[in-house]
Amino acid sequence: MSKLLHSVITGKGKPLIILHGYMGMGDNWRSLALEFSKHYEVHQIDQRNHGRSFHTYAFDYELLVEDLHHYISEKNLKTVYLLGHSMGGKVAMLFAVTYPELVDKVIVADISPKEYEPHHQQILAALNEVNFDLHDTRKKIDDVLKIYIKHKGIRQFLMKNVYRKGKNEYAYRFNLTSLTENNSEVGKALPSFKQYNKPVLFLKGETSDYILDEDKPLIKAHFENAQIKIISNAGHWLHAENPEQFYNESIEFLK
């Protein structure tokens, strides 16, 4: 029996499950979840090795899909809407083609079904340089990350995973060992010849290169009822950079 994923549930109505990206957590979606919860029962999930969910060494998309299936059955949810960003979008896609009877609509935020080269090595290197015995304040931790990661927004996102474990001790919420060892899993493609025929909305950040024009035939091969919309003035973190348009496109699609 697998362990149950941690979640925060708000609102009433049809269940809408939100799946965060790599090194994220459900809490990253708090503001948008509150908006969605005016219409739906929103489940902000922490996936395994992230947030407040359980840690295991094993980590791949098949396991993340089975974790979600276990969650849906334990919560007695009949059918759901799925919204996934980046890694969470890959989980949403694989779940939809694996358990189509449980999913009525899918929103995929800035990721395509294709394979991606591993590209988090510098971030993982930075995180692994932190020694919580020595770096015992948030400022000291950020100073280490700053050596490798110049982008303040990325550091702020990562620092949300730092929590006070004891009186003078900090730790990461995510399972850094597993995420480092299994980094290559995150870029894996959706398996060939898997289809889901219900409606799917792909939202692409205008300045992001995660979804390219050449990816459209592959998207259509897996999801014949897919549409692609562009979120303006936004990159890969489109839900944070332009939450208003992200919400409006999503709610219009779900309704």
- The residues that are catalytic are 86, 236
Query: How far, rounded to the nearest angstrom, does the alpha carbon of residue 16 sit from its chain's CA centroid?
Result: 14
Distance CA 64, CA 90 (A): 10
What is the 8-class DSSP label of residue 97? H
Element (H, E) at 251: helix 243-254
The burial of 239, by beta-carbon neighbours within 10 Å (0-12 exposed, 13-18 middle, 19 or more buried), is given as buried
Please check whether residue 128 is in contact with residue 148, taking contact to mean a CB–CB distance below 8 angstroms.
Answer: no
Three-state SS string across 197-214, please? CCCEEEEEECCCCCCCHH
